[in-house]
Amino acid sequence: MKTIIVCKSTSHGNTRKIADVIGGVLGAQVVDPAEIDAAGLASYDFVGFGSGVRNMDFYRELREFVASLPEGQRAKAFVFNTSGFPEPPFRRYQHNFTESLEQKGFEIVDTFSCYGYDTFLPLMIVGGVRKGHPNATDLEAARTFAEGLRTRIDSTP
């Protein structure tokens, strides 16, 4: 299955570290949203979307990329993110993002989230939170997630 990961990672490269682990397991190229367009994306059977979290939402660049895609996408997809804090119940940013993908026609297979070093204000004043994340445990969890994806996709008729 032809796979690609569209990932927006800034600041400390937390999300890119996770994308590289998942991409290694799935044999997927990792690209920034600015490096691919809708026509290029249409040639893939399986698409990963990854983002860091800023202001309790996925990065604007990735959200705008998805918004620019035409409806009627036929690929399977997965979503992952890194954040200094867990997703709060009053701001379900991962759920909202997956809904946007489903509205475009993607079939969401699974999602993944882990901590990432976060120095967004006012956290910068105290040196940030989740220093050292993603750590070896987070990277192993990402690898396990990707292996599960590969198993499910490979067994799909």
pLDDT digits (tens, 9 = 90+) for 111-135: 999 988 776 666 666 666 577 678 9
Residue-range definition of the domain harbouring residue 115: 3-154
Element (H, E) at 47: strand 46-54
Q: Residue 90: what pLDDT?
A: 78
What confidence tier does 1 reach under pLDDT thresholds 50, 70, 90? Answer: confident
The whole-number pLDDT of residue 55 equals: 83
- Report the DSSP beta bridge partners of residue 51: 8, 81
Q: What is the pLDDT of residue 127?
A: 63
Give the pLDDT band of residue 154 (cuts 50, 70, 90).
confident
Q: Are the C-beta atoms of 130 and 26 separated by less than 8 Å?
A: no
Q: Find which of 20-29, 53-62, 91-100, 115-124 is predicted with most confidence, using mean pLDDT.
A: 20-29
Hey, is 101 helix, strand or coil? helix
| pLDDT attached to residue 13 | 84
Where does the chain show beta strands of DSSP type E?
A: 3-8, 29-31, 46-54, 57-58, 76-83, 107-115
Residue 64: pLDDT band (50, 70, 90) is very high
Indicate the pairing of strand 46-54 with strand 76-83: parallel
pLDDT tier for residue 142 given thresholds of 50, 70 and 90: very high
CA distance 155 to 145: 16
**Number of domains within the chain:** 1
CATH number at residue 77: 3.40.50.360
Picking from 9, 7, 8, 12, the residue whose alpha carbon sits closest to that of residue 120 is 12
**Quick one: pLDDT at residue 48?**
98
What predicted TM-score, i.e. pTM, was given to this entire model? 0.90
How confident is the model at residue 16, as a pLDDT? Answer: 96
